[in-house]
Amino acid sequence: MDAILFNVVFFTLVFGVPSLVAWATYNERLRLDLSELWTHQGRIDKFAVVMLVSWWVHTCSMILWTLAKDIQTQDWTTYQLWALPIIAALIKGRSEPADETKP
């Protein structure tokens, strides 16, 4: 039973959540726009995609290690190094460009 639960959570995290986020971002009825996490000036940024995927894999591993009861304090410390800048960028939002036409 534990293996079934573990596998369901694993596949939901690794495949379900990213698919749902991508769908919600490009769905016009929903107002969830997370595309600036993986785009730069309207184009997909390879470095941002690599960072986002790496962060997501680390997030999934943290959750799965927690479920397996095999997590240690240093794992949470390294996870914070990923999570804090990304959360800060999400909270900050998009900055407005300065208006250069004003005297």
Count the domains in the chain.
Answer: 1
**pLDDT tens sequence across 28-74:** 787 777 777 777 787 887 887 887 788 788 777 777 777 777 777 77
Mean pLDDT across 91-100: 60
Q: What gap in Å lies between CA 34 and CA 21, rounded to an integer?
A: 8
- Please state the φ and ψ torsions of residue 88, each to the nearest 5 degrees: -65, -40
Mention every residue, 6+ apart, whose C-beta is less than 8 A from residue 78: 58
The pLDDT assigned to 100 comes to 53
Domain that holds residue 69: 2-92
- The residue type of 24 is A
Residue 62 within any structural domain of the chain: yes
Residue 8 within any structural domain of the chain: yes
Residue 11 within any structural domain of the chain: yes
Beta bridge partners of 40: 43
